[in-house]
Structure 1
Amino acid sequence: MIEALPTLTIRSAFRRPTDAQISAFQGIPTGFVVDALLGGGALSSSIQPIGGGRDLHCVAAGPALTADCGAADVLATFASLKFIKPGDVVVSAFAAHTGCAAAGDRLVGMMKNNGAAGFVTDGPVRDYEGIVPVGLPVWCAGLTPASPHMSGPGSVGFPIQIGGQEIETGDMIVADRDGVVTVPFERIDEVIQKLAHISELETSLDAEVAQGLKVPNWVEEYLASDNTVRKD
């Protein structure tokens, strides 16, 4: 016999990065963050800026507030509204279900009213024409007019699986037109330390390309090394 689960479970305490840590990620491209994580952290490419970002400027960086909903259910996401702090990115696991929407314009609007910096889900959303004027950046798995239900079970504040990554409340979320990246809470300072160097390298290479660079030096060196064999 399977024991009935509580309809909703809320974590008693939420961890959160410092203001200085959050500030360090503002304006940082997702690619830089992935490089600082040695190629890790990116959510599945199925999670994209709503509408491809054509009508809504989808850029956000803030602490994750997690909601584990399960397929076709939005109870936990609605419950998360009570716990949003300014700058949070609400991350809702929908079990990658695409048969109905994980949120609509009113839910997204309430997130914005509570100070959220963005919304990420592995399900589709609805009410595109209503979400755009709300102005909250959204990353999702597409659009559908189909409506979800609110029956639970669900949870707020616990680790979730979404887009091939585990995300816990307090992890940093960095998202832009390229997609979404998560930085584990324990690695935030490590990544921040690496970002300045990565930014400097990227800026330098951008300048070289703008000035006409055709082949990087390392490619020339690799072609001339014993790692390359020429055959007829």
Structure 2
Amino acid sequence: MIEAPPTLTIKKDLRRPTEAQIAAFHGAPTGFVVDAMFGGGALSNNIQPIGGGRDLTCAAAGPALTAECGAADVLAVFASLKFIRPGDVIVSSFSAYSGCAAGGDGLIGMMKNSGAAGFVTDAPLRDYDGIVSVGLPVWCTGITPASPHMSGPGAVGFPIQIGAQEVETGDMIIADRDGVVVVPFERLDEVIQHLERIRSAERAQDERVAAGLQVPDWVEQLLASDRVAFKE
């Protein structure tokens, strides 16, 4: 006989990047971070800033605090409020269920009061006007008035699957109007090093474009090589 699971399971040790590691990602565009990961790390593009970012500026960079809710249930994400540290981004897996909301303005207001930097979920939310008034950056899959349950089971602090990526507590979440990117905890220093190189390259490219660049040198070189055939 299958035994009923605990209503909630909470990970005892919640790892977290250093303050220097966290700061290294502040202000970094998500595209730069993806490039620093050689094209990896982006969550599915159906997870977007609420309302497309038209009424609420959505940008955040902070350590993930995960909540595994399961479809139509929000108990775990409410439980996660107790474990938020200032600057955390709560990442809640709702099993990509779209039949009801994964939270509303009350929950998101409590996240902000607890010091969260943002909230990411693979489900719709509710109370759009209230969320805009709260002002916490939020990424979700849409809006619905439908209410969820709050009965569990759920888990806080453990790895979750969301947006075709695995996210663990302590991974870095970088999110802006383009979407959401996760940097695994074990790769933080590596990606930070690559990120500095990407920033430098992007600045140089922007300067060349501002100065009138029309065709990049590498395109000119390719077109002049024997790798390209011109035909009538």
* Range into which the TM-score falls when normalised by the shorter chain: over 0.9
Question: Post-superposition shift, 1:26?
Answer: 0.4
Please give the alpha-carbon distance, in whole angstroms, between the structure 2 residues aligned to 1:163 and 1:178: 14
Asked if 1:13 is matched to 2:13, the reply is yes
Which letter does structure 1 place at the counterpart of 2:125? V
Question: Post-superposition shift, 1:2?
Answer: 2.1
Please give the alpha-carbon distance, in whole angstroms, between the structure 1 residues aligned to 2:11 and 2:225: 56
Question: Post-superposition shift, 1:93?
Answer: 0.2
Match of 1:65 in 2: 65
Please give the alpha-carbon distance, in whole angstroms, between the structure 2 residues aligned to 1:5 and 1:227: 61
User: Deviation per CA, 1:151-191, whole angstroms, max 9, x where unpaired?
Assistant: 11110000000000000000000000000000000000001
Please give the alpha-carbon distance, in whole angstroms, between the structure 2 residues aligned to 1:227 and 1:131: 54
Q: Mapping of 1:195-206 within 5 angstroms?
A: 195-206=195-206
Question: Post-superposition shift, 1:227?
Answer: 2.0
Following TM superposition, the consecutive aligned residue runs of length 4 or more in structure 1 with deviations greater than 6 angstroms are none
Which letter does structure 2 place at the counterpart of 1:143? I
Question: Post-superposition shift, 1:5?
Answer: 1.0
Q: Mapping of 1:122-137 within 5 angstroms?
A: 122-137=122-137
Question: Post-superposition shift, 1:226?
Answer: 2.4
Which letter does structure 2 place at the counterpart of 1:93? S
Q: Mapping of 1:18-97 within 5 angstroms?
A: 18-97=18-97
> What secondary structure sits across from 1:173 in the alignment?
strand
> What secondary structure sits across from 2:16 in the alignment?
coil
Please give the alpha-carbon distance, in whole angstroms, between the structure 1 residues aligned to 2:105 and 2:122: 17
Please give the alpha-carbon distance, in whole angstroms, between the structure 2 residues aligned to 1:88 and 1:225: 50
User: Deviation per CA, 1:88-130, whole angstroms, max 9, x where unpaired?
Assistant: 0000000000110001000000000000000000000000000
> What secondary structure sits across from 1:16 in the alignment?
coil
Question: Post-superposition shift, 1:230?
Answer: 1.9
TM-score normalised over the length of structure 2: 0.99
Question: Post-superposition shift, 1:47?
Answer: 0.1
Q: Mapping of 1:210-221 within 5 angstroms?
A: 210-221=210-221
Which letter does structure 1 place at the counterpart of 2:231? K
> What secondary structure sits across from 1:9 in the alignment?
strand
Match of 1:109 in 2: 109
Which letter does structure 2 place at the counterpart of 1:231? K
Unaligned runs of 5+ in 1: none
TM-score normalised over the length of structure 1: 0.99
Question: Post-superposition shift, 1:207?
Answer: 1.4
> What secondary structure sits across from 2:92 in the alignment?
strand
Please identify, of 131-140 and 202-211, the stretch whose mean Cα deviation from structure 2 is larger. 202-211
> What secondary structure sits across from 1:203 in the alignment?
helix
Aligned length: 232
Please give the alpha-carbon distance, in whole angstroms, between the structure 2 residues aligned to 1:89 and 1:26: 13
Question: Post-superposition shift, 1:14?
Answer: 0.5
Please give the alpha-carbon distance, in whole angstroms, between the structure 2 residues aligned to 1:61 and 1:173: 6
Please give the alpha-carbon distance, in whole angstroms, between the structure 2 residues aligned to 1:226 and 1:79: 62
Please give the alpha-carbon distance, in whole angstroms, between the structure 2 residues aligned to 1:119 and 1:61: 11
> What secondary structure sits across from 2:100 in the alignment?
coil
Which letter does structure 2 place at the counterpart of 1:11? K
Match of 2:168 in 1: 168
